[in-house]
Amino acid sequence: MAEDRRIRRTRRALGAALVELVLERGFTALTVEDITERADVARATFYAHFRDKEDLFARVTSDLLEELGERLRPTIADSAVGFTGKPLLEMLRHAWDERDLYRIVLRGEGDGKPLQMFVDTCAQATAGEFKARAERNDVTPRIDSELLARVWVGEQVAVLRWWAEHETPPMPAEEVVRMLLDLALHGRYWASGFSTPAPSP
């Protein structure tokens, strides 16, 4: 038990050091020695847990996604029929709580690999939920579920990055969710201020 706590403490210290240093200098300029010095951890201890700084960044991103998944799980059940906005609201809150880490992931630090991991994981989970929702409600999607999930997640990633880059919330999270739900329901043409086009004859 004590060993497990020590391991978790060490990994947290290394992860926190990585995030701080990437924000200060960028990922490319960092060395393992920079990270271990900031975390006050021996280099040998670092290599006992991670192959290199890329491996550490991947683990930090994986932990972020796991935590996000745990926070989203209770909101998914409420979305069985349609879009409630609750998962997106929880994502915004999570991004605010962990905004330094979101910043470096969503900026594409680390050759974009953590960002790709974030997008792929979210898209896979979203596509699965879209398919399950269609089956539960006996409807046939008009757009391929995989493509629809990528579009939806792409919009969310753009909003999350904008959200995390601010030092104070740019607007209430509930307002952002309301606007995005309106966009999902009515489309970009309507959101841009135009009247809904007449149906084709």
Mean per-residue pLDDT for 176-195? 88
| Six token digits for residue 65 | 């996604």
pTM of the model: 0.89
Check whether 201 has a pLDDT greater than 80. no
Mean per-residue pLDDT for 23-47? 97
Is the model more confident about 137 or about 99? Answer: 99
* Residue 197 exposed, middle or buried by CB count within 10 Å (0-12, 13-18, 19+): exposed
Is the model more confident about 31 or about 77? Answer: 31
- What pLDDT is recorded for position 2? 59
| Interatomic CA distance for residues 32 and 14, integer angstroms | 10
Superfamily covering domain 52-188? Tetracycline Repressor, domain 2 (1.10.357.10)
Contact 98, 64 (CB under 8 A): yes
| Six token digits for residue 123 | 């898209």
| Domain residue limits, the chain | 1-50, 52-188
Second-level CATH architecture of 1-50: Orthogonal Bundle (1.10)
Common-topology check for domains 1-50 and 52-188: no
The count of other CB atoms within 10 Å of the CB of residue 6 is 11
Phi/psi at 107 (5° precision)? -75, -15
Angle made by CA atoms 161, 121, 13, in degrees to the nearest 5 = 70
Sign of CA dihedral 81, 136, 148, 199: negative
Chain segment 80-129, per-residue pLDDT in tens: 556 778 899 999 999 999 999 999 999 999 999 999 999 999 999 999 98
| Interatomic CA distance for residues 188 and 192, integer angstroms | 6
| Six token digits for residue 181 | 């739900």
Banded pLDDT at 77 (limits 50, 70, 90): low
Chain segment 143-152, per-residue pLDDT in tens: 898 999 999 9
| Interatomic CA distance for residues 180 and 80, integer angstroms | 18
